[in-house]
Amino acid sequence: MLNDAERRALRRALEIAADPAVPLGPNPRVGCVLLDAHGRVLAEGHHRGAGTAHAEADALNRAAPPLIGATAVVTLEPCTHVGRTGPCADALIAAGVGRVIIARRDPNPIATGGIERLRAAGIDVELDIPVDLAAAAAALNRGWEHGLQHGRPLVTAKIALTLDGRAAAADGTSQWITGQAAREEVHQLRTTCDTVLVGAGTARADHPSLTARRGDGTLHHRQPVRAVMGTGHFPPLPGGAGEAIPLRTHDPSAALAELFDRGLRHVLLEGGPTLAAVFLRAELVDELIVHLAPTLLGGGRGGIGDLGITTIADRLDLDLTDVTPLTSPDGRTDLRLTLRPRTT
Ligand code: AOF
Ligand code: ZN
C-alpha cells in the first residue's frame, strides 16, 4: 500500500517519464522520484532515451547524499544489467535507499530481477500499486513492450466510417464524415503514437499534413514521424514537421521492420481503405479505432479494401473492447469503437 505522498510521487514519476521530448523507443520511458522519510521530494529523474542515464541514476545524481531511509518511487523495475549504463538496483542499494516502490515489472529478460536483488539487500519493495497508476505505467510503454514481445511496432489502425461503412462518397469526397470531437481526437491519437503511416496513393490524393495539432491549429509538443509506404511517387507532405520517411515497399512486414529498426514502436495507420486492408490481411493490426458517424451514403467507397473474403464463414471477426460517444460542440455525436482482431 502507498501513502498519500507516495501516490503523489508515483503520479509525478509517470508524468515526467512521459516527457514529450523522449521517444517511445527503442528504450522504455521511465520516471523516478526520491522521497525523504517524511515524504518530501528529494529529487526527480527520468530516462531521456537510449544511451542516456536511467531514471534512477538521473534522480540519484540530483539528490544530496546520504539517502539512508529514503524511498525511491519508480515507474519500471530497476534494472540489473550493465548496458549502456550501470545496474540501477545496485545504485539504489549503494545509495542506502530503504524502500522502493515499483509500478511495473520490466518485461525485458536482460534487465529484470531488480525486485529480487533489492529484497535480497534488505530493502522494502512495494508492488501493491493503485490500479489506475498501474494501468498508466503499462500504457506508458505499450509500444515498447509490444516490440519486446513481437519484434515489431504496435499497429493501431484508425478509420472514419459512415453508419453504412463508407469512407467516401461516389465522387470521392470524404471531408468530413465525422464531427469536430472525433477529428480532434485523431490529433490526440497522433501524439500517443510515434509514427503515422499512409500509402503513397493517399499522400498523392489528399496531401495530408499528418501533424498533431490542437484545436487552434498550433502543433502539439510531440509530433509523430510521418511515413509513406509504396513504390509510387508522392509529393512532399505539407505541415513543416520534417521530411516524411519513404518506405519503398508494398510488404507491410518489411515496412514495419524498417520502422522498428529506426527505434519506432507505435504506428498509427491512417492510410485509407487499401492500406488498412493490406495490414489486416497480413494480421498486422493490433487495434482498430473506428469513428462511426451517424450518417448514410448508400453508395461510394467502402471503409476497408479487399480482404480476399468471398464467403461469410471466412469473415474477419473483431472483439469490441470499448464504445465511447464523442460529442462535438455543435451537439453532434459520433461513436468511437475500439476493436481487436481475433487471433484465434
Ligand atoms: C531502468 N531505468 O530508466 C530504464 C531502464 O540500453 P540500456 O543499456 O540503457 O538498457 C535499456 C534497458 O534497461 C531497457 O530495455 C529496459 O529493460 C531497461 N530500462 N531500466 O532501471 C531506466 N530506461
Ligand atoms: Zn537501469
Question: What pLDDT digit, counting tens, does each position of 40-63 carry?
Answer: 999 999 999 999 999 999 999 999
Work out how many domains the chain is built from and give that number: 2
Neighbours of ion ligand 2 (CB under 5 A): 54, 79, 88
Confidence of residue 344 (pLDDT cuts 50, 70, 90): low
Residue 260's pLDDT is 98
Domain boundary among 92, 112, 140: 140
Q: The domain that contains 55 carries what CATH number?
A: 3.40.140.10
Of the residues 85, 115, 140, the one at which a domain ends: 140
Average confidence (pLDDT) over 237-249: 82
Q: Would you say the CB of residue 108 lies under 6 angstroms from ligand 1? A: yes
For residues 171 and 317, state if they share a domain.
yes
30 CB within 6 A, ligand 1:
yes
* Minimum CA distance residue for ligand 1 atom 22: 54
Give the DSSP H or E segment for 99: strand 99-102
Same domain membership, residue 257 and residue 159: yes
Active site (catalytic) residues: 56
23 vs 206, higher pLDDT: 23
- CA dist 116 and 132 (Å) reads 25
Residues 36 and 161 in one domain: no
Q: Looking at the structure, do residues 123 and 169 belong to the same domain, yes or no?
A: no
Concatenating the DSSP letter of every residue in 159-220 gives EEEETTSEEE-TTS--TTSS-HHHHHHHHHHHHHSSEEEEEHHHHHHH------B-TTSPBP
C-alpha 192/C-alpha 75 separation (Å) is: 18
pLDDT digits (tens, 9 = 90+) for 110-160: 999 999 999 999 999 999 999 999 999 999 999 999 999 999 999 999 999
Atom of ligand 1 nearest to the CA of 79: 21
Residues 80 and 228 occupy one common structural domain: no
Q: Are residues 224 and 122 in the same domain?
A: no
pLDDT tens-digit series, residues 277-327: 999 999 999 999 999 999 999 999 999 999 999 999 999 999 999 999 999
| pLDDT band (50, 70, 90) for residue 224 | very high
Residue 240 confidence (pLDDT): 65
DSSP run (H or E) holding 142: helix 142-150
| 186 lies in the same domain as 215 | yes
Mean of per-residue pLDDT scores for the chain: 94
% residues pLDDT > 70 (the chain): 99
Asked if residue 112 has its Cβ within 6 Å of ligand 1, the reply is no
Angle at 220 between CA 217 and CA 223, to 5 degrees: 115
Last residue of a domain, one of 94, 125, 140: 140
Q: What's the gap in Å between 50 CA and the centre of ligand 1?
A: 8
Domain, as residue range, for 108: 4-140
126 shares its domain with 75 = yes
Together in a domain, 105 and 125: yes
- pLDDT(241) > 80: no
What is the predicted pLDDT for the residue at 247? 95
Does 164 lie in the same domain as 94? no
Q: Assess whether 123 and 8 both reside in one domain.
A: yes
CATH number of the domain where residue 152 is located: 3.40.430.10
**Pocket of ligand 1 contains residue 6 by CB under 6 Å:** no
Ligand 1 centre and the CA of 16: distance in Å? 16
Pairing of strands 333-341, 287-293: antiparallel
Residues 200-213 have a mean pLDDT of: 85
As a whole number of angstroms, the distance between CA 278 and CA 252 comes to 7
User: HEC states along 309-330?
Assistant: CCCHHHCCCEEEEEEEEEECCC
191 and 124 share a domain?
no
pLDDT for the residue numbered 243: 73
pTM to 2 decimals?
0.94
